[in-house]
Amino acid sequence: MRAFLVDRYGSGAGLRAGEAPEPQLGADDVLVQVRAVSINPLDRMIRDGEMKTILPYRVPFILGNDLAGTVVRIGAAVTRFTVGDEVYARPRKDRIGTFAELIAVHQDDLAIKPATLSMEEAASLPLVALTSWQVLVERAHVQPGQKVLIHAGSGGLGTIAIQLAKQLGAHVATTTSTANIDVVKSLGADVAVDYKKQAFETVLHDYDVVLDPLGGETLKKSLDVLKPGGKIISVVGPPDAAFGRELGANPVIRLAMSALSFQTRWRARRRGVTYSFLFMKASGDQLRELTALIETGKIRPVIDTVFPFNSIPEALEYFAAGRAKAGKVVVRMT
């Protein structure tokens, strides 16, 4: 089958188009013919070797973390899907490889594709929708009337998180560029801070939850907008010891993760708030919860650009260069 592979780590390494063996199918696996995929920051980070400590893939490997497609074969123990079903998923972290014609996905990670969406629209959603759910519903337990700040509101994650937060009844603020103020407001943002004109930490106060997809100085400044008891949840780090335990990492790695986040956790404690790092998990059950919101129009995908399959390397470079204006970069399998 055709696939795009990483032969060596590094930002200059790129992706290689080539032939790869068809995936082997386990008893609980579903073989999916991939119809569309989307590009995520995680793809660039994995390619560049930034995630090797957490996700040590052995080269060469097929990249890609989102998909929509059609079931072409099922394992002996599969009960949820049949051949011909249209599905979407973010495969679990040790079974990535959506930049290919076929992929085997555990049935627990799949969900039936929303009937209202095209393959391209569906492929734009799994990773960012699951991340939004796990931050806002599972980790933050957002309640009606709470104030939630979502950074980078016009990005792939931000566009979905804004909509989910509004469905949870939150008052939502976001940061974005001048060109995307109208975009984020159309998604439901109550307050849109133009980061080119205003410092968000000077105009936002007493927030219950911050979703941080940027890290660095944005993460530090976000501590100042939280009220006592507030929560900041970052999806870019620094990782913490709790994440090390989730990974099943050895004590040395857990200690290193704890050290990396020590200053952030210390600053958070001084302000009476909490910091945590979240690395999203694959979940077909949660995708089914999200599908109900998608099919009723309460959450809609936002797509920036669609590339053809042969242009996956160009799609990744387009994304990595920050050229996407709003929403996800998607690849159509031809």
Assigned domain for 293 exists: no
Same domain? For 265 and 131 the reply is: yes
Give the tokens for residue 252. Answer: 């040395």
Would you state the pLDDT for residue 132? 98
Whether 35 has a pLDDT exceeding 90, the answer reads: yes
Same domain? For 134 and 273 the reply is: yes
Same domain? For 110 and 171 the reply is: no
Assigned domain for 179 exists: yes
Same domain? For 136 and 273 the reply is: yes
What contacts 149, CB < 8 A, 6 or more positions away?
A: 172, 173, 174, 175, 200, 204, 207, 209, 210, 211, 222, 225
Same domain? For 47 and 116 the reply is: yes
What is the rounded average pLDDT of the residues 265-274? 96
Choose one of 262, 277, 292: the last residue of a domain.
277
Give the tokens for residue 153. Answer: 């509101």
Of 116-125, 167-176, 247-256, 290-299, the one with minimum mean pLDDT is 247-256
Same domain? For 227 and 243 the reply is: yes
Same domain? For 103 and 135 the reply is: no
What is the rounded average pLDDT of the residues 246-252? 74
pTM comes to: 0.96
Same domain? For 184 and 312 the reply is: no
Specify the residue for token string 């959603």: 125
Same domain? For 99 and 12 the reply is: yes
Domain span at residue 266? Answer: 127-277
Assigned domain for 157 exists: yes
